[in-house]
Amino acid sequence: MTSAVCATAGARVTDPDLRLTAYVFERMFGEAPDGLRHVPGALTLLGGGEGHALTVGLRWGVTVALAPGPTDLRSMNHHSDRYTDAQGEPPDWAAPALRALTAHKVAGARMVVNRELPLETGLLNGGETYCVVSQALHDLHGTEAAADCDPTSRLGHLTALHARPGQALLLRGDAVERLPCDLAKAGLRLLVMDLGIDRTLPVVHSRLLALTAAAALRAGDLGAFGALLSAGHVRGEFAFDLALDTACGAGALGGLAIGRCVVALAPVRAVPQIRKSVQTMLHGLGERPPRFLTAVPSGPRA
């Protein structure tokens, strides 16, 4: 249980996002949480089918603050939402937390869930929430999960559990191989571009692409890695194709659509020009202007 940040009652918490989640818990429930956990988000770059995927951890993941009690779940991302035992079908954001409670055979908990990426990005799949709640329940009760997460969120769970700074993960079933991917040292970034368009593109579930990209990372060939990302892009949606082509024309080494975003591998020095060019080319095409995040492979925040 070493891949998540944990703070229990009485511990000094310095990370501002964790402090904020603990503060919201105290405001909602009238006392400090007994447990506080954070896990990184998961970005599935290639694969996802046939049991193979290449992923990296993102700094922005999921934080949970909780304490024993009857089931009462609150979300920092859906301020009007609340789920208790008295309600019926849970909302999507609460379902992974409830699965974790069931897997640990814990009757209930008071909980605040903070998903640190906007829902509109389509990047968090629920596996991160299951992972962080499962680890927090282990801290409090010493229990182990008696069941895995939902198969559709397995990649998010495994990535949240094993992600480390400067590394990518090759997932083969439940086997995890860590690969060198120190983009910060190489002067590169993953530029995540939320285009402001409410569509999710299909992905290429290619075992071969994931394995070939893993070989490029082992060899330290980040140029080839960028080209392989582009090979995984499904063309056919004008705005997504335009954003990727514009990014590559402005200096990106490659990229692809993931969720509702386009993710490009780019030199740090090219990021400002890529942002400016994409904003100009996509003006008026989305429901709102594009938003940008720059990332490197990350692990748990301390």
- Phi (first) and psi of residue 272, to 5 degrees: -60, -40
State residue 146's pLDDT score: 79
Residue owning tokens 């511990």:
11
State residue 5's pLDDT score: 47
State residue 113's pLDDT score: 95
Number of H helices and E strands in the chain, helices first, is 9, 12
State residue 50's pLDDT score: 60
State residue 90's pLDDT score: 87
* 3-state percent breakdown (helix, strand, coil) of the chain, nearest 5: 35, 30, 35
State residue 38's pLDDT score: 94
* Cα–Cα dist 236/238, whole Å: 6
* Cα–Cα dist 278/100, whole Å: 40
Burial 26-52 (b: 16+ CB within 10 A, else e): eebbeeebbbbbbbbbbbbbbbbeeeb
8 Å CB contact between 136 and 37: yes
Return the percentage of the chain with pLDDT > 90, whole number.
70
Structure tokens at 218: 């082992």
One pLDDT digit (tens) per residue for the chain, 302 residues: 334 444 444 456 778 889 999 999 999 999 999 999 999 999 999 987 667 899 999 999 999 999 999 999 999 987 777 899 877 788 888 999 999 999 999 999 999 999 998 877 888 888 999 999 999 999 999 998 877 777 778 899 999 999 999 999 999 988 999 999 999 999 999 999 999 888 877 777 788 999 999 999 999 999 999 999 999 999 999 999 999 999 999 999 999 999 889 999 999 999 999 999 999 999 988 788 899 999 999 998 75
Domains of the chain: 5-160 (3.30.230.10), 181-295 (3.30.70.890)
* Cα–Cα dist 61/275, whole Å: 23
Alpha helices for 56-176 (secondary structure H): 95-103, 127-141, 154-162
Strands 72-75 and 5-8: unpaired
8 Å CB contact between 227 and 296: no
- For the stretch 135-176, pLDDT in tens is 999 999 999 887 777 777 889 999 999 999 999 999 998 899
The amino acid sitting at 277 is S
8 Å CB contact between 197 and 75: no
The overall longest dimension of the chain from CA atoms, in Å, is 55
State residue 4's pLDDT score: 44
CA dihedral of 226, 116, 176, 193, whole degrees rounded to 10: -10
Q: Which residues pair with 253 in a beta bridge?
A: none
The amino acid sitting at 129 is T
- For the stretch 98-128, pLDDT in tens is 999 999 999 999 999 999 988 778 888 889 9
State residue 136's pLDDT score: 94
pTM score? 0.88
